[in-house]
Every structure is written in structure tokens, then in C-alpha cells.
């Protein structure tokens, strides 16, 4: 059975403090990462925390990209969820690795929307 989507959860370590603490740079990086992956950007919402840190989401036609930063730790938590086969979430992660200057990245992919056979049969009956 084919998955409806791919969800990459990524931990970025050793990132540039200034990049992680600048709302404009973080938003730019996330939008460019979405475009790099082949996604169509719909909306963005970002928030700058005091004294530091940025959180935000880029809504794409194919799902979303989200980020939460801890500049004082050089750390960012990112998730990239894409539906369909046209968009590659790993391209977004690769772009962010370079943009944020991450020294280490730990990431894994979760397939989303793999329907149990009983749900598929029920949907086909409708």
C-alpha cells in the first residue's frame, strides 16, 4: 500500500546563532526550503520570542514545514510533511542544513496515511 505522505522529523545541531535568532532569516530559509523541495507555498506564520528563538510554519499545498529554534543551544527542531510524489521533504532538509550551518543533523522519515486493509475496504464500499 502506498503512503499518502512523507513526514521528516529533523534535529539540527551546531547551527549559527544569528541565523536561528533572526525571524526574517528563519522565514526566508523555510520558504526557500519549501520551494527547493518542489512545494507550492500558501501561507507563513512566524513568531520571535524574547530573549531569543523563533517558531514558525510554512503552509504548502502539499502540507507543511515547521521550525522551532533554540539559538543559545545552536539547535533547531524541524518537521517537513509532504503529500503526493512530486515534493521531496529531504530536499528541504538538505537546504536547511546548509542555510543554518548545521554541524550535525539527525533525521528520520515516517510514512503517513498508510491505510489498514479494513479502512481501504470501507472506503471502497462508500
Check if 63 is active-site.
Answer: yes
Cis peptide before 51 (omega within 30 of 0): yes
Taking residues 89-118, report their average pLDDT: 93
Percent helix, strand, coil in the chain, to 5, is 35, 40, 25
pTM of the model: 0.89
Encode pLDDT of 10-36 as tens digits. 999 999 999 999 999 999 999 999 999
What CATH number did the domain enclosing 51 receive? 3.60.90.10
Range of the domain at 89: 5-125
83 is catalytic: yes
Distance CA(82)–CA(112), nearest Å, equals 9
Q: How confident is the model at residue 2 (pLDDT cuts 50, 70, 90)?
A: confident
Closest Cα partner for 26 from 80, 87, 89, 71?
71
Q: How many domains are there within the chain? A: 1
Of 37, 63, 64, 93, the active-site residue reads: 63
Catalytically annotated residue among 83, 93, 118, 119: 83
Residue 68 annotated in active site: yes
Per-residue CA distances from 121 to 13, 19, 111, 112 (Å): 44, 49, 20, 18
Amino acid at each position: 500500500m502506498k503512503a499518502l505522505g512523507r513526514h521528516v522529523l529533523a534535529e539540527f545541531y551546531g547551527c549559527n546563532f544569528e541565523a536561528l535568532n533572526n525571524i526574517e532569516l528563519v522565514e526566508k530559509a523555510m520558504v526557500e526550503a519549501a520551494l527547493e523541495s518542489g512545494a507550492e507555498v500558501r501561507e507563513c506564520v512566524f513568531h520571535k520570542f524574547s530573549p531569543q528563538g523563533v517558531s514558525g510554519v510554512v503552509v504548502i499545498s502539499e502540507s507543511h514545514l515547521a521550525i522551532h529554534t533554540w539559538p543559545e543551544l545552536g539547535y533547531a527542531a524541524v518537521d517537513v510533511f509532504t503529500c503526493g510524489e512530486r515534493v521531496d521533504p529531504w530536499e528541504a532538509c538538505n537546504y536547511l542544513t546548509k542555510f543554518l550551518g548545521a554541524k550535525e543533523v539527525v533525521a528520520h522519515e515516517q510514512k503517513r496515511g498508510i491505510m489498514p486493509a479494513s479502512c481501504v475496504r470501507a472506503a471502497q464500499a462508500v
